[in-house]
Amino acid sequence: MTSFTEAAPHVPIPKNGVDYRGKIVLAPMVRSGETPSRIVSLKYGADLVWGPETVDRAIIGAKRRINPRNSMIEYTRIPSNGGQPNKPAQESVLIDPVRERGKLIFQLGTANPSLAVEAAKVVAADVSGIDVNSGCPKPFSTSGGMGAALLQTPDRLVSILEALVEEIGKPYEIGISVKIRLLAEPERTEALVTRVCRTGITGLTVHCRTTPMRPREAAIREQLPMIASICRKAGVACLMNGDVRSRDEAMKLIREYGVDGAMIATSAESNFSCFRSQADGGLEHWRDLVRSYMEAALQCENRWGNTKYLLNQLVPGKDKAFAESKRSKTYEDCVTVLGFEDLIPMAKHVDEIIGTAKRAAERAESNKSLAVLKAIEGNTAKAAGGGGIGKGNSPKLSTQVNVAGGTGPIRTGSSVSKPTSSASVSAESAVAEVVAKVADGTHVPPSPLTV
């Protein structure tokens, strides 16, 4: 794909890196940017894909391994918090070395040059670029001096980029880039962009919103031509982000504002085929898209929670399949209700591998035990109370009946034998009956009005 900007000097693209010019790319997104999402985005025409932000300390110390079942590259590490011995390793990063080769950019959350370099070294050999997140406005990022907080500390941001260029970009021969947000004053944005473009980075993405702005607020693009001009003169590729909804719209905006490429976020969350032009077919029907996503999720042995989250975004809320898939507890449940019967064997296999089936069975057993207890409580109350006596209608006795049949207080020290209470016998019988019914699945819990 050719660039739409005028000819200009380029910062050299490293041998293992990639030029951002002329590219329509998937944005870094928590949950929506995991491996299956990236694979499907590439299938439908994304030129490059960004992984979700990974904080430096979360990847430092991770161990690299190849999954023998699917050949995926997995980086796992033992959680450092909690103090529990023998904790299982948790997956930090998952990469498809075939479909993502030459197309994956690893986004790093960091506020420290040394930690940034240490973290980047872990994955540098398996990605085509390292991108520093200096645009995320969420507190979990900014509270640590990362994300959009770096916009307020340009010296720190510059030192991070320079360290990555020297210690990662050059030895591993990959590109280093940065993603920023607009500053409220154009002069400050201009000064920041000018500085970061001198660090040796190969690309810069600008989210066309300021830090306080939220996604529901329209992107502001007045500063784009100025930013694109600075990047062009420095030989740095410039991507725009914010309210870019499709490939066709992205191409139009590239020409209009003189940028080199565009990044799509929100639209991709609901339909990854937004990367496909109208001439090539446009948006895919949701069922075909979901089929592609489920295949990718199963191939990756993706975490069930993440898969279910994405399905809630991809399946239309008014469709019957939405409610059915939302209730599913396993991959097998999900592909069954979606009508992908040929995927059932693979779904069962993945459920066993990642433990989804076991957890679902444990939850079902726990719910069954809870149902037994509630049923026992309800039916015991009915038997002891003489049936359907509502709480507000319980008869009040001014005196209690003693063991001898007379009136007056019960004497707990009495040697007189207490007759067997008919209510107790009834309660015991009711309990036995309820347990039997719950065990064979025929029990219907009593209505709260009759307890």
Q: Say how far apart CA 203 and CA 177 lie, in whole Å.
A: 5
Q: Say how far apart CA 280 and CA 196 lie, in whole Å.
A: 37
Measure the N-to-C terminal CA separation of the chain; round to a whole number of Å. 71
Q: Which residues contact 147 (CB under 8 A, 6 or more apart)?
A: 53, 109, 133, 134, 135, 136, 137, 138, 141
φ and ψ at 32, to 5 degrees?
-85, 0
Give the pairing type, strands 129-134 and 175-182.
parallel
DSSP string of 134-181, one letter each residue = E----HHHHTTT-GGGGGG-HHHHHHHHHHHIIIIIHHHT-EEEEEEE
135, 126 contact by CB (below 8 A): no
**Three-class DSSP category at 439:** helix
- Is 136 catalytic? The answer is yes
**Three-class DSSP category at 442:** coil
**Three-class DSSP category at 410:** coil
Axis-axis angle for helices 186-196, 224-234 (nearest 10): 20
CA 290 to chain centre: 16
Q: Say how far apart CA 87 and CA 90 lie, in whole Å.
A: 9
- Which letter, b or e, does each residue of 401-420 get, where b requires 16 or more Cβ atoms within 10 Å of its Cβ? eeeeeeeeeeeeeeeeeeee
271, 289 contact by CB (below 8 A): yes
Axis-axis angle for helices 304-314, 320-327 (nearest 10): 170
Give the pairing type, strands 48-50 and 24-26.
parallel
**Three-class DSSP category at 251:** helix
Q: Out of 136, 197, 238, 300, which one is annotated catalytic?
A: 136
Q: Which residues are catalytic?
A: 136
